[in-house]
Structure 1
């Protein structure tokens, strides 16, 4: 099913989404994107439906064709301090703030958001599989976060973040059990199953 260009009839509708909410390490990253009304791309879809290679191919296309886009990381210390939901919304607000065009309307992937600058908004469950601007935001959030995780992988290669990107894979959890936690781990998350619970 083809994705719709936008939800509202406003000229400048921004789509926003985040990546990395369920990770054990690294930031939660959000993107906001305003696309032109005539934007067409047959590959663009929810980032989770695409291979890493396709996401990286789409990244420069979205950056070049969008009217404006913004990216925001919220890091692990703040996630631990304000919780992951608030951190995700803060990242989305931060990405919208970076837009060079103030949006008339905001559509958000998921069902949780807080008002931003009194701009009208709509939360849309699975919005990244329905609207191009949210799908574009999901691609940018995921690719920018992946690139960041690949960079910090060099510092702590034993966790293999370049592959698991900080998600709770068996390999990542075994590495936490063996090597302990790093400054990039989210201390408020259950990093190991109860029987391996670390004294954090």
Structure 2
């Protein structure tokens, strides 16, 4: 018996698309230029900052091969990173630390990092396009969010590459100071190796996200102990 056809074909079409400059061209036709693409890297890890980037591409010098950073190898990302820095009109990045993530939450920290990146561009954009569902508040211009934007827009894809490369480099620097955790291999994600290191070494102060599992319970205990001590004082 033949397998029935899916009644949700658009879900799979989105997975196969590749970014282009059509979203940006529509904005240009509306008189909204320059257009900045915004994206972040590092929402899911147990450790390290969330990093965002903002990129204004030159329509006449778009690097070939731009794509969602998750669909590229590390070597491809590094090569495209260099091409973006060479050819783009403006590039910036910003981050929010693990402490900021714990103090607010990962969604708010991601949006704040994107806001900082957009505001740091050497050229003020007239329009910003972001990956996901949310447009950060406090941008220097109007903005619009696009689901799977890093697979639909060259500018957002470029931002995703810059954010990912910069975050990986930051985690590589963390690895040089905290060699026992192996950050250079997993970049803070919850791999088996990382979880084993946490079990053996405990949390790394100011680097691990204490509001993320498996730290959340321990963090709640620490807070309770601090309250008790404060009451005793």
More deviation in 35-44 or 80-89? 35-44
Higher relative contact order (CA 8 A, sep 6+): 1
Deviations 1:140-164, CA, capped at 9 Å, x for gaps: 0000000000011011112111010
Partner of 1:3: 19
Aligned equivalents of 1:35, 1:121: Cα separation in 2: 16
Matched-pair contact (CA < 8 Å) for 2:62–2:87: no
User: 1:71 matched to which residue of 2?
Assistant: 93
Residue segments in structure 1 that go unaligned for 5+ positions in a row: none
Change (3 A) 1:118 1:98: closer
Aligned pairs (5 A) from 1:111-190: 111-117=133-139, 119-183=141-205, 184-190=207-213
Q: What's the secondary structure of 1:154's corresponding residue?
A: helix
Aligned counterparts of 1:191 and 1:63: Cα–Cα separation in 2: 38
| Structure number with higher helix proportion | 2
| 4+ residue segments displaced more than 6 Å | none
Alpha-carbon offset, residue 116 of structure 1: 2.7
How far apart, CA to CA, are the structure 1 residues paired with 2:149 and 2:139?
Answer: 22
Post-superposition offset of 1:2? 4.6
Deviation at 1:6, TM superposition (A): 4.9
Change (3 A) 1:71 1:6: farther
Give the conservation status (yes or no) of the 8 Å contact 1:115–1:121. Answer: no
Q: Which moved more, 1:108-117 or 1:133-142?
A: 108-117
Query: What is the CA–CA distance in structure 2 between the aligned matches of 1:46 and 1:64, rounded to whole Å?
Result: 19
1:80 corresponding residue in structure 2: 102
